[in-house]
Structure 1
C-alpha cells in the first residue's frame, strides 16, 4: 500500500483540497493511505482558525483523509517556509509516508 502525506490547514476545507485528495489517489492508486498534517486552533502566521481543530480534522477524514496529525504550534504559526518544514518533518517522522502531495493556486 502507498502512503501519501499532505500538509494542510483546511481553513476552511474547499473543493481544491478535495481535488488534491482525489488526484493523489488517482495517481497512486485507490488504496493509497492519505496522511494529513494540519495546523491546530491557530493557523499560519498566528491567526485563529475559522473552526476548531477537531471539526476541521473530522471534515478532512469525511473527505478522504485516513489520518490527521496536528502540526505543532511553533511550525503552525510560522512563515510559509517554517510551516512547510515542520509539516515535512512531521510526515517524515511517521516513517511510513512515501509521497508528498501539494497543490498550488496557479497550477505551477
Structure 2
C-alpha cells in the first residue's frame, strides 16, 4: 500500500495547511499520513493546542491517519 507522509505540527491548523492537504490529495490520490509532535513543538515550545485537538483538526480536514 502506498501513502503520502507529512510531518506537521498544525499548531494551530490554518488555511495554508488545508491548501497543502487538498493539493497533495488531488495530485497523488493516495491516503495521507501525518506524523505529529506531542505536547511540545519541534522548537521545544509548549503546543498551543493539545495533541488530541490537533489530531482531530487534521482528520477533519483530510488527513487519513495521524501518528
* TM-score, normalisation: structure 2: 0.93
Residues 2 and 28, structure 1, Cα contact 8 Å, conserved in 2? no
Gaps of 5+ in 2: none
* Higher share in helix: 1
Match of 1:34 in 2: 32
Indicate the residue corresponding to 1:6 in structure 2: 6
Partner of 1:21: 21
> Runs (4+) of structure 1 moved beyond 3 Å?
none
RMSD of Structure 2 on Structure 1 (CA): 1.1
Query: Which residue pairs with 2:49 in the alignment?
Result: 51
Count of residues in Structure 1 that have an aligned counterpart in Structure 2: 67
Task: Considering Cα pairs closer than 8 Å and 6+ residues apart, tell me whether 1 or 2 has the greater RCO.
Answer: 2
Bigger radius of gyration:
1
Is the contact made by 1:41 and 1:53 (CA closer than 8 Å) also made in structure 2? yes
Deviation, structure 1 residue 2: 4.0
**Which sections of structure 1, spanning at least 5 residues, go unmatched?**
70-108
